């Protein structure tokens, strides 16, 4: 096994590699397809994302700009870090185990994150207050049984968790046709 993909990267190295949008686009493309890809196909797709156009509408100049920087700068840097393998002789880019692992850094801190932890804290606080009010016997809460209130709390938490899971899946690299930062308008 290649030492590059087993030696740990520091957080600083990871953030340095991922600070460039083209490198994040490369990761999204590789995670989405999870197979070796021709550099030309990769450049074509990234140019389409960058210029907000279809694959067919990418001009040769746009494709060449992306192709050149990928070939000369971004892919060698990512290959050196073991995030992917880049065969410059054949123009083939392949994901590695680290391709999947490194994307966690992007999924933890999306640009405009909904405050899920605050929502769960609020739901917990309301649930505790409701249970306390039922224990004391505060009217009109006592019009429903404790079992009914427990069901309402359980359903509310379950629906919220399902919403959270759905949101998080849509924010993952490799999910959908576009990278999350394009799909959600983040910078």
Helix (H, G, I), strand (E, B) or coil at 93: strand
Residue 149: pLDDT band (50, 70, 90) is very high
Give the whole-angstrom CA distance, residue 180 versus residue 185: 8
pLDDT at 175: 61
- Any idea of the CA torsion for 45, 51, 57, 63, to the nearest 10 degrees? -60
The whole-model pTM stands at 0.60
Tell me whether the omega of the peptide bond preceding residue 140 falls within 30 degrees of 0, making it cis.
Answer: yes
**Which has more pLDDT, 133 or 180?**
133
């Amino acid at each position: 096994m290649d030492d590059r993909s087993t030696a740990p990267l520091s957080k600083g190295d990871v953030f340095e590699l991922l600070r460039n949008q083209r490198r994040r686009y490369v990761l999204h493309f590789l995670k989405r397809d999870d197979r070796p890809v021709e550099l030309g196909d990769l450049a074509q797709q990234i140019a389409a994302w960058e210029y907000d156009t279809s694959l067919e509408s990418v001009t040769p100049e746009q494709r060449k700009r992306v192709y050149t920087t990928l070939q000369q700068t971004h892919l060698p840097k990512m290959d050196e870090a073991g995030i992917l393998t880049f065969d410059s002789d054949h123009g083939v880019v392949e994901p590695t185990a680290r391709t999947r692992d490194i994307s966690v850094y992007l999924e933890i801190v999306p640009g405009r994150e909904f405050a899920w932890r605050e929502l769960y804290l609020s739901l917990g606080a309301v649930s505790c207050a409701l249970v306390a009010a039922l224990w004391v016997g505060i009217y009109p809460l006592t019009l429903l049984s404790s079992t009914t209130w427990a069901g309402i709390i359980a359903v509310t938490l379950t629906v919220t968790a399902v919403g959270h899971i759905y949101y998080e899946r849509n924010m993952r690299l490799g999910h959908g046709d576009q990278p999350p930062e394009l799909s959600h308008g983040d910078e």
